[in-house]
Structure 1
């Protein structure tokens, strides 16, 4: 990563961002060698990303031809307006954010037990209140659905995380931005100010 000041190495912070994201973006190469990307619901289990879908379609055709993929999750934090700075120029305006990119070789999950575990974990993430029959490979109610659903695993072997929270700014400027975020108190501002306080300043 070129901007080393924004690079995040803390494993727990990366996992929290992945686990809190409702969806991510899968980038792949189509069989005609043009790029493709699609939004998918997903779940992280240990060091593996899982998502599901139809066994047919562009996504699965692309993965069959070339399993090398990239998967990204991004969370927009506060927009920092230019007037938070003493400058009257537009240049200081910035968008704070946190992002994680996983690069790896996608694997089509064939084992019914692994498929059931991944799909159950996805349901627990998306519908934590329950209200459904748990997914199990031994359940006759889900036997047909497990066969008809494709599940894909991406190992988290190559992970890059970028948390842009003003680490490149002088401490006085960071303190000023955090104070103005607290005063503005727009949705997400308090969370951004708290994240800034935890981020290690680069200068």
Structure 2
């Protein structure tokens, strides 16, 4: 992923705060031999203090052999995206139709080393970490190996602990354009009000505020 200086996060807190609100992504794993890469959509729980993400998948999933052969993987998360029509970015004094269309989006890629989790108790602990993220009210039974209701299901899954070794983050919201153009786009996004426009506008306004 190409990250221009104007698209880079202002600091580590920017991408961490964004990622804290986005817990669904795609895990990319190198394929075996001539096979194409595996791309697996999944929910995950990211732990900033431990610098790792945890998740689980069904045991029959075909990507396990690929992970064992190539444990270096990428967890990709994208959001706050919106299409920006060319006229919105047209420079002052030029025909609107000469403007260049583009995409706005936020993206965080976690480069990881994957660790498989097969021990029943370790899998239960991993599931509790995910449940703490997705059901924080605690409205669920405990996962105990060999005990109902979930213990009998543990053999059907494998846990996955993703040790983060590097992070690539990008916030592409017109940071290379004149400030008056950026402010104009925030108004046009509000006026259009399409899917994703409010999230993109909110992120762009935050970026404008960060840059003073």
Same fold (TM over 0.5): yes
Quick one: which of 84, 90, 94 aligns to 2:88?
A: 84
Report the equivalent of 2:116.
108
Instruction: After superposing the two structures, state which structure 1 stretch, 22-31 or 188-197, moved more.
Output: 188-197
Report the equivalent of 1:44.
46
CA distance in 2, matches of 1:101, 1:48: 13
Retained in 2: the 8 A contact 1:23–1:40? yes
Report the equivalent of 1:177.
185
What displacement does 1:10 show? 3.2
CA distance in 2, matches of 1:37, 1:181: 31
CA distance in 1, matches of 2:16, 2:124: 22
SS in structure 2 at match of 1:18: helix
What displacement does 1:6 show? 0.8
- Report the count of equivalent residues: 203
CA distance in 2, matches of 1:97, 1:90: 22
What displacement does 1:124 show? 4.2
Compared with structure 1, are the counterparts of its residues 90 and 128 closer, same or farther at alpha carbon in structure 2 (3 Å cutoff)?
farther
Compared with structure 1, are the counterparts of its residues 78 and 57 closer, same or farther at alpha carbon in structure 2 (3 Å cutoff)?
closer
Compared with structure 1, are the counterparts of its residues 4 and 186 closer, same or farther at alpha carbon in structure 2 (3 Å cutoff)?
same
Retained in 2: the 8 A contact 1:22–1:126? no
Compared with structure 1, are the counterparts of its residues 50 and 140 closer, same or farther at alpha carbon in structure 2 (3 Å cutoff)?
same
CA distance in 2, matches of 1:187, 1:64: 39
Retained in 1: the 8 A contact 2:110–2:168? yes
CA distance in 2, matches of 1:7, 1:52: 31
Instruction: After superposing the two structures, state which structure 1 stretch, 84-93 or 153-162, moved more.
Output: 84-93
With normalisation by structure 2, the TM-score equals 0.80
Report the equivalent of 1:3.
4
What displacement does 1:51 show? 1.7
Compared with structure 1, are the counterparts of its residues 112 and 12 closer, same or farther at alpha carbon in structure 2 (3 Å cutoff)?
farther
Q: 2:103 matched to 1:95? A: yes
Gaps of 5+ in 1: none
What displacement does 1:113 show? 4.1
Report the equivalent of 2:176.
168
**CA RMSD for the aligned pairs?**
2.8
What displacement does 1:33 show? 4.6
Deviations 1:122-146 (A, max 9, x none): 2344445654313345855433323
SS in structure 2 at match of 1:199: helix
CA distance in 2, matches of 1:51, 1:33: 27
SS in structure 1 at match of 2:63: helix
